[in-house]
Every structure is written in C-alpha cells, then in structure tokens.
Chain A
Amino acid sequence: MRGVRWLLLKDLQILRRSPLQAVLLVAYPILIAVLVGFAISRGPEDPRVAFLNEVPPNTRINVGGQELPKANVKDRICERVECVFVSDRAEARERVASGDVLAALILPADLVNKINSLSTLTPGVPEVEVLVNEENAVKAELVDDRITSLLAQANLSIARRIGSEGGRYLGLIVNGGEFKVLGETIPVLGLRASAEILAQVTPALPPNLRPALEEVTEFAAQARDNLDVAKPLIDRLTQPIAVDKVVVGGESPPLEIFAIAVAATLTLAFVVVLLVAGSLALEREENAFPRLTRGLVSTTGLLSEKVLLGVVVGVLVTLLMLVGMQFFVPLELDRIGLWLLAIVVSAAALGAAGAALGAAAREVRAVSLLAFMVTLPVAFLSLIPSGAVSPTAFDAIRYFTALFPFKPALEAITAALDEAGPSIGGPLLHLAILCVAYSAIARVALRRFSAV
C-alpha cells in the first residue's frame, strides 16, 4: 500500500499542475449547481399566449331561453397561461410569427351564438381559432398539448355552468320556488308540494274519482323521486370520469430532489470515469506502466490507486456541487452520512468502470473519447422512465443500464438525499457487485500491457 500512497500523491500533483483540468473540476460542479439550482428554484414559466376576444360584450350563453351567468372562460384560461391581449388578428399573427408568443387563441364574434344554437333544431359548430408557429417538432407538440388542455378546461367550465343551471331548474320543478321571466317573478309549486296537496284533497273527493287522482299523486311522487336522481346525474355528465390516483410502487422524492440527484450523479460519473480512465491511460502513454509493475507496485495496487483517485476527487467535486445546491434548495443536512456513503460507493463503482475503459486503450485522448461515448448514452438511457417506450424496449434498456454503475448510483444518491426516495440498500449492493466485476475486467485487460 506504500506505493499506492505515493502514486496517489503523484496523480494529485499532476492534476494540480494541469490548470485547465483543475479549473474544470472546480468550475464544472459549480456551474451545474447554479444551472440546476436556478432551473428548479424558479419553477416553470407560464407559456405566453396571445388572446383575442371578438365576442361582443355582455353576450351570454343561453339555455332554454335563459341566459347563463358569465362562465369567466377568459379568466380561467389566463390563470394557466400568460395572456397577451391583442387588439386584432394581424397583431396576433405577427406575435406568433415572431416567436413573441407560443400561440394565439381567438374567440370569434359568433362563438356564443353558435354555442346557443346547440339547443336549437339547427345546431352550428362552435369553434375557436388557434394560430401556432410549429418551427420545430418539440414546440409543435408542446403547443398542441397546451391548447388541447386549455380548450378542455374551457369546455368543462361551460359544461359545468350549463349542468349547474339545468340542476337548478330541476330543483325548481321538484321542490318549487320562484322563476323570473322578462322581469316578472313567477311562483312554481313543484312536484313535492303538488303531491302533498293532492294527497290532502283526495279524501274529500267522491270515491269514484279517487283512483284517478291517486294515479296522478303517484305519478307526481315518482317524477319527484326520479328527478331527484337526475340532478346528480347531470352533475356527473359534465365530468363523467373522475381520477382516483393510487400509488402502487416507485416511491418518488420531490422533483427538485430528483433533479439534484441527476445533476450530482452526472457530475460524479463524468468526473470519475474520465479521470480514472485518463489517469490509467496516462501511465502507459508516459511508458511508466511496465516500470511501475516491474516490482514497484502490483497491478491490483495500481488499479486500487486509480479508483481511490476517482473516489477522492469525485467525492470532493460532488460535495462541492451539493453545497452549492443548498443556496437554491434546502437539503436534509442530517443525512450527510448517507450522502457520503452513496457518493463513495458510487464513485468506487464508476472508478472501476473507468479503469476497465482505461485499460482498453493506450492513449489518453482515445480513452477520454471512449469514456465519453460510453457514459453519455448510458446516462441518457438510465433516465428513460417506464411507459415512455415499449415494454420490450424498456426491458432491454433496463438490462443494459444495469450493467453500468450510473443507474444504481442515481438510485443510491436519490435515496441518500431524501427519505421519500427508494431504499438505498439495493443500489449499494448493485454498485458493490459492479465494482468487483469491473475491477476484474480491468485486471485482465491490463495484463495485455504487462509485456513490453
């Protein structure tokens, strides 16, 4: 182990002597911390949507000859997006074309008339106009999703209002009350009161007339009971399917904690894999490998030193990043022991993987490129959630990513950061197995270079 200590010191000296590398190792985690911190602390901005309302003022939706109160569709829409009010279609079009707004929503002048025609014998098709600038596929999908969601909200709002009014009229028929028409108040007796009156007068009628009146009384009671059931039915029709969400698996921490864990794992993975792979390749590029392994240090000792280098630098850089994150999102500092455990074990497994990559090539540049080409897609694939791709593809991705330490490292760090995350034991065991496996691969690969 004496040799390991001096080699580690030598590698740290070399790191210190490479200003660009040293600056990158410090600047990279700080930059990531600041970027992720800003992103998750500010939250998503509402998309800007141009809004043009051409519907004449005081025009109301009419049900059965009665005007409904205002549904406040505009207010509801503008709660969910940043509305940019425009004065005409030309301005709306220009703002969309210039990219100032994501889309323009135009409520045409005849919109309410067409909605009112739905309850007539000649129903029209109420339409709103949407102007979009689909300059790329992602933006197009985003606009489609937003507009569809907004219109669904508007439709639901109107349907609820109509349902509510319909329910009020049914209540009037069942229970009685007052009804205003053309400024005049008309009292409505209601089925309940009618049935009661009929029941009271029945005994006073001649016996031959009673059966007929009893039938009418029975009908009034049945109508009352059925219409009582109809009211909640109308309410349900406005939103027939309700959501009852039950979490059956995949305990998840808050989104910002997951984002921090992703940033920390990405930082750790790139720093450790590139550093260990590059450092091992440097031993051969400097021709020092045969000199070292000719009795000065064993192959296992050399590999241990490289993994240790990765752990030391990786832990420092990742902790620096997490400390930077504290300025944006408060982390549970009393879990710092678990942070360290997760980072150290993750760094060791990533370091062993870096050593296996470093043993595969002779030059630092080739190794760096190889490490990048492996780490980046593995990290990308590890972040794909189930359901985002077909089950077969997801299974293939799951097995593939399980062969590399990124995903278990992400799970371990997520678990360490927040108690709502998954359990930490499984990922740590997975990382330990990968660490042993990659160390063995690295040892075998290095044997190829033991001869001159």
Chain B
Amino acid sequence: MESATTAALRAEDVVKRYGDRAALKGVGFQAGAGELVAIIGPNGAGKTTLLSILAGISKADEGTVDSVDGRVGWVPQQAALYRRLTVEENLLLFARLEGHEDPRGSAEEMLELTGLRERRGEIVARLSGGNQQRINIAIGLLSRPAVLLLDEPSVGLDPRQRARLWGFVSGLAGRGTTVIFSTHDIQEAERYGGRLLVLADGEALFDGPPEELREAVRREAPEAADRDFETAFVAYLHHRGH
C-alpha cells in the first residue's frame, strides 16, 4: 500500500446516507501514482456512490477525500458523448470547455492516444460500443488528470473490445495516471487491477493486491478454495455476512 505522502488520491472514513440507508459506512483507501485500483463488489455495494464522491459529483456526509492537485478525471458508466457529433467534434468541444489554449492540438493528442485518428470524422453514433467508450475515456483525460475514475467501463463490450479497452487503460497507468475503476466482474478485476478494494453493503472488506485476496478467500472460505475465483469470492462474501 502507498504511503500517505505519495498518495495521488486518499479517502478517509467516507460515509454517505440516502435517507435511513447508509450507502457507504466509513470507507477509506488511498491510491499511488500509476496504480490501477479495482473496486469490486456485488450490486448495491456502494461502488458507484464511492466513485461519484471521489469525482466530486456527490458530497460525502462524513469523511474526507483529497487528491494530489484536485485534477480528477471522471468517466461515467454510460458514454457521455454527443452521438450526433463526430469523434473529433466531441473531443474539440470538451477541450474548448476545459479551456485548453490549443484545443485542436489536445484533440489530436487524444485521437492519437485512442487510436481513432482514422475515424475522426465519423459520427459517434455509428461507432462500436468499445470505440465510444474509448472516446468517453479520452474526454475524461482531456483535463489531464492525475487520477482517472472509471465507472464499470467494460459493461456491454464484447471480449475483443474489452481487451482493447484494457490495453488502452493499462497504457494510461503505465504513463503515470492513477486509474481507479469499478467492476462487478471479478476475473477482470483480478486480471487488470494492481490492487483490489472489495465493497459489500457499503463496507470495505478488503484492500490489497489480487494474490492477497485469493489468500484471504482460501483462508476464510476453504470449502470453495478449489473452485473458480468467482465462486470462491461469493463464498468469501457469504462468510463475511454479505
């Protein structure tokens, strides 16, 4: 785990309530520069709520969130794009809204990064879900964030599109961007996440590398240890009372 001094983003004792229901019950974690952190857990665990608080879209009822310089990029689960504009027009628009001095240069940079230079003039609605998601992420990167938050980025993508997406995201992390993503796909989290944060019913059950989670699963749910990781993980949650 990164030390507090080098953390790109740090959350402490975050609590969020919707009426009487507590969506997050004192969750805390931190992520270092270039880390790929996967937030996993069943539906309703609080993944999207935590990400929206980290992104500054929702406010926590209690607790604090700090980032290294406030530059946190956010990519919503569903592509937030104008489907009737072209790839380039979308990138240009958001670069202008971000106040870039050279919006065309920034758009070119993102076209290069996403590998969509050849398709710059295409209307977004005609692109595949995978390519739409790449532009969605590229727009999140336009603010040149130190931390990028992705809310279930691979939902609705086929295996080939997923592979391309994760190749792209891993490349970002390799260039020093801290990437925090939520997913309910355990195998995907284990494969691409350098660290896993397990949430269930608003509580953080585990925070560490995938190998340590496997170890914890084996330890706490030995009867499922020989089965596939997803089944073993479900047994682990069950043992922890969720």
Shortest Cβ distance from residue B99 to the other chain A in the assembled complex, whole angstroms: 7
Quick check: B80 and A286 within 8 Å, CB to CB? Answer: yes
Residue picked from B55, B58, B93, B123, most chain A C-beta under 10 Å: B93
Q: How far is the CA of A436 from the CA of B158 in the complex (A)?
A: 49
A2, A288, A294: the one contacting B81 at CB < 8 Å is A288
**Segment among B37-45, B71-79, B205-213, B218-226 that sits at the interface with chain A:** B71-79
Q: How far is the CA of A48 from the CA of B84 in the complex (A)?
A: 55
A14, A294, A295, A450: the one contacting B82 at CB < 8 Å is A14
Shortest Cβ distance from residue A22 to the other chain B in the assembled complex, whole angstroms: 12
Say whether B127 faces chain A, with CB atoms less than 8 Å apart: no
Say whether B167 faces chain A, with CB atoms less than 8 Å apart: no
Q: How far is the CA of A6 from the CA of B85 in the complex (A)?
A: 13
Q: How far is the CA of A126 from the CA of B84 in the complex (A)?
A: 75
B57, B76, B89, B97: the one contacting A13 at CB < 8 Å is B89
B55, B78, B89, B99: the one contacting A294 at CB < 8 Å is B55
Quick check: B80 and A291 within 8 Å, CB to CB? Answer: yes
**For A288, what are the chain B residues with a Cβ–Cβ distance below 8 Å?**
80-82
**For B81, what are the chain A residues with a Cβ–Cβ distance below 8 Å?**
286-288
Quick check: B76 and A287 within 8 Å, CB to CB? Answer: yes
**For B80, what are the chain A residues with a Cβ–Cβ distance below 8 Å?**
286-288, 290-291
**For B139, what are the chain A residues with a Cβ–Cβ distance below 8 Å?**
291
Quick check: B99 and A2 within 8 Å, CB to CB? Answer: yes
Given contacts A6-B96, A452-B52, whether A18 and B84 have CB atoms under 8 Å apart is: yes
B48, B52, B83, B123: the one contacting A286 at CB < 8 Å is B83
Say whether A292 faces chain B, with CB atoms less than 8 Å apart: yes
Question: Count of A-B contacts with CB under 8 A?
Answer: 60
Shortest Cβ distance from residue A298 to the other chain B in the assembled complex, whole angstroms: 12
- Interface set, chain B 82-133, CB cutoff 8 A to A: 82-85, 89, 93-94, 96-99, 123
Q: How far is the CA of A242 from the CA of B85 in the complex (A)?
A: 70
**For B176, what are the chain A residues with a Cβ–Cβ distance below 8 Å?**
none
**For A290, what are the chain B residues with a Cβ–Cβ distance below 8 Å?**
57, 76, 80
- Interface set, chain B 151-200, CB cutoff 8 A to A: none
Quick check: B97 and A6 within 8 Å, CB to CB? Answer: yes
Given contacts A292-B97, A296-B98, A297-B97, whether A452 and B84 have CB atoms under 8 Å apart is: no
Q: Size class of A's contact patch?
A: 20 to 34
Quick check: B79 and A287 within 8 Å, CB to CB? Answer: yes
Q: Which residue of B lies closest to A18 (CB)?
A: B84
A13, A287, A294, A450: the one contacting B85 at CB < 8 Å is A13
**For B79, what are the chain A residues with a Cβ–Cβ distance below 8 Å?**
287
Residue picked from A2, A6, A7, A450, most chain B C-beta under 10 Å: A6
Say whether A17 faces chain B, with CB atoms less than 8 Å apart: yes
Quick check: A287 and B52 within 8 Å, CB to CB? Answer: no
Q: How far is the CA of A288 from the CA of B97 in the complex (A)?
A: 13
Shortest Cβ distance from residue B40 to the other chain A in the assembled complex, whole angstroms: 19
Q: How far is the CA of A18 from the CA of B82 in the complex (A)?
A: 13
B-contact bits for A424-452, CB 8 A (1 contact / 0 none): 00000000000000000000000000111
Q: Which residue of B lies closest to A6 (CB)?
A: B96
Quick check: A294 and B56 within 8 Å, CB to CB? Answer: yes
- The 8 nearest A-B residue pairs measured at CB: A287-B80, A296-B97, A291-B80, A6-B96, A452-B52, A287-B78, A288-B80, A14-B84
Q: A-side interface residues toward B, CB under 8 Å?
A: 2-3, 6-7, 10, 13-14, 17-18, 286-288, 290-292, 294-297, 450-452
Interchain Cβ contacts under 8 Å between A and B, 20 examples: A2-B99, A6-B93, A10-B85, A14-B84, A17-B84, A18-B84, A286-B80, A286-B81, A287-B76, A288-B82, A291-B76, A291-B94, A292-B97, A296-B98, A450-B57, A451-B52, A451-B58, A452-B57, A452-B58, A452-B76
